[in-house]
Amino acid sequence: MTQRIFAANWKMHLGPQGTRAFMDTFLDMYAPLDDREVWFFPSAVALGTAVAAVQGTTGIVVGAQNVHWEAQGAFTGELSIPMAREAGATAALVGHSERRHVFGETDEETGSKVRALLDAGLTPMLCVGEKIEQREAGETLAVVERQLSVLGQYDRQALGRVVIAYEPVWAIGTGKTATPTDAAEVHAFIRQWLTKHGADRKTIRVLYGGSVKPVNIRSLMAEPEIDGVLVGGASLEPESWTAIAQTPLD
């Protein structure tokens, strides 16, 4: 079985000092396990701090929360992929719902970021998911398919390097969580779509994100379609994050 992924998205929290303190506590409590990887997406200013803190620890990946598709240029406030890679990042989030719905990122821009990351040898974690009105209108799978379409041009090898995170927008930071069955249904659809477009089913990893907490992590991870989680708020405290990251896999 492919290793599961437990990913922490810190959003606009924890600068270098907070990151260093978090990692000191987390690494004292966490024992690396062969059946999983733990991923961290810290703020851009704390990227190098996080990389330095986990250096030499097996099974831990550090990535950027957002990148620009151009390698350099007059893009004030943006983070280029070469800069992220120089800081030690080996992955990046792409198309997170906050990038799409707060900052207006388009599918075209998301696709450009995926291509640039693959070209640079970094792993894209492509986030997909529907808003509440789209779910209530029965449009969930159509929305997810549209967001996945940016991957339609890639071959089996490239698709095997992309991680998908299904995050229903209505469940992010709201306390609402899709039921494990609901999440598994969308995950199965994503897996089928990727397989139809040439992906090797054995390499596909689809994560769930949206109000994941220590109290619901085991029921989510019990679903065979769910290969891991992308966690926001509950990843900001070392104790709750360690509890999630150490969830037994039956």
Per the residue annotation, which of 37, 96, 105, 223 is the catalytic one?
96
Per the residue annotation, which of 37, 109, 167, 223 is the catalytic one?
167
Q: Are 111 and 143 contacting, i.e. CB atoms less than 8 angstroms apart?
A: no
- Per DSSP, what are the bridge partners of residue 8? 40, 231
What distance lies between CA 36 and its chain's CA centroid?
14
101 flagged as catalytic: no
Could you tell me which of 37, 157, 166, 161 has the C-alpha nearest to residue 95? 166
96 flagged as catalytic: yes
Q: Are 185 and 178 contacting, i.e. CB atoms less than 8 angstroms apart?
A: no
Q: What is the DSSP letter of 122?
A: P
From the number of C-beta atoms within 10 Å of its C-beta (0-12, 13-18, 19+), residue 121 rates as exposed
d(CA 8, CA 229): 8
- Per DSSP, what are the bridge partners of residue 48? none
d(CA 60, CA 219): 24
- Which residues are catalytically annotated? 96, 167
